[in-house]
Amino acid sequence: MNKKPKKNQIKELAQELDVLDDMLSSLVELLEEKGVLTQEEWEKKIKTKLEKKTKNYRDIQFEF
């Protein structure tokens, strides 16, 4: 079984994250344009959700 070098796996993951970031940004912009949501509401919602979490993904990643 061929394993991809770790560098390639990291690059692919970074590219996927970039695509998800673009998709999410586009969705929020569309909601703003339609008057459904403001940037301030969006940021407040994110902040609230992040504060509720006890750990973030980076903390979990480097625990092991």
Q: How many domains does the chain have?
A: 1
Residue 55 domain-assigned?
yes
* Residue-level pLDDT at 12: 93
- What integer pLDDT is reported at residue 13 of this predicted model? 92
**1 within domain boundaries:** no
Residue ranges in the chain whose pLDDT is less than 70: 1-3, 54-58, 60-61, 63-64
pLDDT of residue 28: 93
CA–CA gap between residue 33 and residue 1 (Å, rounded): 49
pLDDT of the residue at 30: 96
Cα separation of 59 and 13, whole Å? 18
In a domain, 52, yes or no: yes
What's the pTM?
0.64
Count how many Cα atoms sit within 13 Å of the Cα of residue 53 in the half-sphere of its side chain.
11
Residue 17, domain extent: 6-61
pLDDT at 27: 94
